[in-house]
Amino acid sequence: MPNDFNENCDITRFNEDIAQYVTLYKEKPSYRRVIVPEYFKQACLFIDFLKPKSILDYGCGGGALIDAIQKKYPAIICYKYDPAIAGIDFLPIDKVDMVINIDVLEHIAENNIEKIIEEISKLSKNAFFGLHHALATEILPNGKNAHCTVKPPEWYYNAAKKYFTTLTLLEGHAAYLSTLLTFGITASLKRKYMGILKKRGSPKKFLEYLPYISKWFSHGRS
């Protein structure tokens, strides 16, 4: 949990949201995440590019992704953080070479997201954000959708540029997903990344954002 919520943030809402996931994890342990192959491949691609000595998975759920990364890269020091899971509900380190933040920000209330991004910027200049731009299939114990913030790629891009000097926005492996990197990439790395993408998902789920997303990516911003 961010240590210095300011007047624009809502610590009460943050704690209420975390409590929902504490309950959800107890009632549905399987929700703690499985490895999405595309995310694992993407993470490995960026790790091979950055060659970090330490990585933090911020919002790691049960830690399946970071565990797989640790197995593949045993020389890298890997850390876990998830405020809704006892034992890893505190930041274990002040600085790391790379932060992974996948399918996390959309679970955070809109007015608290910038504080999370700011905290990540203090942990590392190299972050891999996996963003989701549609509602979730999961419903929280309070009856609300697990994705309480549904915004297009540009919204996250504009929020992140306040805290990072370099940003690279890429398509995701489904039309309602995108990837935001806080470091520059080479043309070769981008080709490799695009090569592992697999478009999938229900058109009904991302229809509202598809025209916007297509327009955004056609500009080739990075």
The pLDDT-based confidence of 196 (bands split at 50, 70, 90) is: confident
Q: Which residue has the higher pLDDT, 37 or 97?
A: 97
Per-residue model confidence (pLDDT) at position 33: 63
Burial (0-12, 13-18, 19+ Cβ within 10 Å), 129: buried
* Predicted local distance difference test score (pLDDT) of residue 206: 43
Q: pLDDT value at position 218? A: 43
- Answer yes or no: is pLDDT of 219 > 60: no
pLDDT reported for residue 28: 85
* Predicted local confidence at residue 58, as pLDDT: 98
Position 142 in a domain: yes
Least confident range of 9-13, 176-180, 201-205: 201-205
Dihedral angle, C-alpha 130, 133, 136, 142, nearest 10 °? 100
* CA 71 remoteness from chain centre: 21
On whether residue 189 sits in a domain, the answer given is yes
Residue 83: pLDDT over 50:
yes
Q: How far apart are CA 166 and CA 182, in angstroms?
A: 5
State which residues form the domain around 90. Answer: 11-218
Choose the weakest-confidence range: 36-45, 46-55, 170-179, 205-214: 205-214
2 inside domain:
no
b/e burial code for range 42-62 (CB count within 10 A of at least 16 → b) = bbebbbebbebeebbbbbbbb
As for how many domains the chain has, the answer is 1
The domain that holds 77 is classified in CATH as: 3.40.50.150
Nearest of 137, 136, 206 to residue 171 by alpha carbon:
206
| pLDDT value of residue 177 | 95
Structure tokens given for 99: 């932060």
Average of per-residue pLDDT across 51-74:
96
- Does residue 53 form part of some domain? yes
Q: Indicate whether 170 belongs to any domain.
A: yes
Question: Per the domain annotation, does 5 fall within a domain?
Answer: no
Residues shown for the chain: 222
Q: What is the pLDDT of residue 176?
A: 93
Both structure tokens of 125 = 């200049």
Report the pLDDT averaged over residues 197-203.
54
Q: What does pTM read for this prediction?
A: 0.86
Q: What percent of the chain has pLDDT over 90?
A: 74
6 in a structural domain: no
99 located within any domain? yes
What band does 204 get if pLDDT is binned at 50, 70 and 90? very low
Residue 211 has pLDDT above 90, yes or no: no
Q: How much is the pLDDT for 138?
A: 92
| pLDDT score for 119 | 97
